[in-house]
Amino acid sequence: MQQVNLGMIGGGTVGSGVFHALQLNGALLALRIGVPVAVRKVAVKAFNEPRPYEIPRSLMTTDWREVVNDPEVHIVSELAGGTTLAREIILSALRLGKPVITANKALLSAHGEELFAATKEHGANLYYEASVCGGIPIIKSLREGFVGNRITALYGIVNGTCNYILTRMKLEGADFGAVLADAQRQGYAETPPDLDIDGWDSQHKIGILASLSHGFWVRPEDIYVEGIRHISALDIKFADELGYTIKLLGIIKMAESGKRKEKSSCRVQVSVYPTLVPNAHVLAGVNHVFNAVFVRGDIVGDTLFYGRGAGKDATASAVLSDLADAALDLKFVSKHRVPPFVPHECDGAVLPIEAVVSSYFVRLNVVDKPGVLAKIAAVFGESRIGISSVIQPEGHEGASVPLIFMLHHATNGAVAGALKKIGRLSVVKGQPVMLRVETFE
């Protein structure tokens, strides 16, 4: 192959970032992979839409079909976003046997299985490094770097917006609402912010990483998700006093594995929730918009990936990595050397959250009188939940005072049941706050 031509769908922030990165490092990339890559056409929403980097007018069209159907376009990149038209674009390109690069985690989360089936049917690959954690090469690492490992645990700070908000809440002692409003003013959080702060963006990413780690397609509806809306400055402060930092963690953890009926089987925790991380753990120090993924393999042990999870340049870096792979696969006619997803765990399943075992931080607002602690401790005792410490922070006096419990390992089901009973006690005011604690054992 003399030259590989890229047809781009999407010329906005990410698309123009890719164009710019290719201008900057295209020659280097060509030297490294042994074949030049050129942008042939770019389909845009509007010629004059605001974009951080220029794209020559001569390359632009507003008709995506013109790009996909161009016989001189060998690889298509879908960087437009959304789940309806993007799906149609990708399927159209795959039907023509053209490999596709996408950054679209929402689309993969919703239609991954259909798109992967189409790659098989039409003999064209789908590359999606940019869909999870922007510039961090986590897809390639899981699929290729750790191909010889069972991934026993993966913990990810995969949403920069939430990490930015939680970092500022901790540093400034500020409340969620005030930091969110300021983050929106400064362009660090979207308006509306729900996709990020309610955990859905993390759900998309963790679902992709869980599927790759465990070899069965993890459906978004099977992932337990809690966002960060309910995190208060008080919880962040008390957690810190106890030696913890609250992070929104995606957690993928093998709960059990074994041989059943001649088939391998595994039950995996796949969840997204605000978690107390020990201050001494490396993930506690991942701050502001940065992402990090901590991967534990049974052979390799503990590994850590850190970097920018979003933004035009970080995402462009991931797209160029896919572009290099796609160009090499075309050059060496090895279309399925690394298929997008290989199901290999025939009996895998996501563990329901009620059965997931964790440790806990519980904050109650209680009436300040003798006997209250005993009443609450009795409920935990009846539920066979061990208390590892109890703190009534100094300096809180009045009709009701905070009472913090740290609980030993117990199932989420058992703790939810106990908290329901505790919430009904007349000495407890308002709803109990429960956050999970990760020990990384």
The DSSP secondary-structure symbol of 1 reads: -
* Minimum CB–partner distance for residue 205 and ligand HSE (Å): 7
Q: With CB under 6 A as the contact rule, which of the stretches 47-55, 155-163, 279-287, 408-416 interacts with ligand HSE?
A: 155-163
Q: Which of 11, 112, 309, 432 binds ligand HSE (CB under 6 A)?
A: 309
- Does 160 interact with ligand HSE (rule: CB under 6 A)? yes
129: contact with ligand HSE by CB under 6 A: no
Binding mask 266-305 for ligand HSE (x = CB under 6 A): ----------------------------------------
The two three-digit tokens of residue 176, written as one number? 């969620």
Rounded Cα gap, residues 66 and 264, in angstroms: 47
Q: How far, in Å, CA of 73 to CA of 67, rounded?
A: 7
Give the DSSP H/E element, type plus range, for residue 392: none
- Min dist. Cβ of residue 85 to ligand HSE (A): 19
Cβ–Cβ under 8 Å, residues 125 and 326: yes
Size of the site for ligand HSE (CB under 6 A): 7
Separation CA 387–CA 409 (nearest Å):
9
Q: Is 310 in the site for ligand HSE (CB under 6 A)?
A: yes
Q: Minimum distance between the CB of residue 307 and ligand HSE, rounded to whole angstroms?
A: 12
Q: How many residues does the chain have?
A: 441
Residue whose CB is less far from ligand HSE, 133 or 266: 133
Minimum CB separation of residue 200 from ligand HSE in Å reads 10
CA dist 379 and 370 (Å) reads 17
Strand-pair partners of 405:
362, 390
Residue with tokens 């008390």: 238
> Contact region for ligand HSE (CB under 6 A) — 73-81, 159-167, 272-280, 373-381?
159-167
Residue 195 buriedness (CB in 10 A; 0-12 / 13-18 / 19+): middle
Nearer to ligand HSE, 293 or 433 (CB): 293
120 is catalytic: no
Virtual torsion, Cα 76, 80, 82, 87, nearest 10 deg: -20
- The structure tokens 């006997």 sit at 371
Cis peptide before 393 (omega within 30 of 0): no
Which CB sits closer to ligand HSE, 236 or 310? 310
| Amino acid in position 223 | I
Binding track, positions 175-214, relative to ligand HSE; x by CB under 6 A: ---------------------x----x-------------
Choosing from 98, 170, 205, 253, which is the catalytic residue?
A: 205
Query: Given the rule CB under 6 A, which residues bind ligand HSE?
Result: 159-161, 196, 201, 309-310
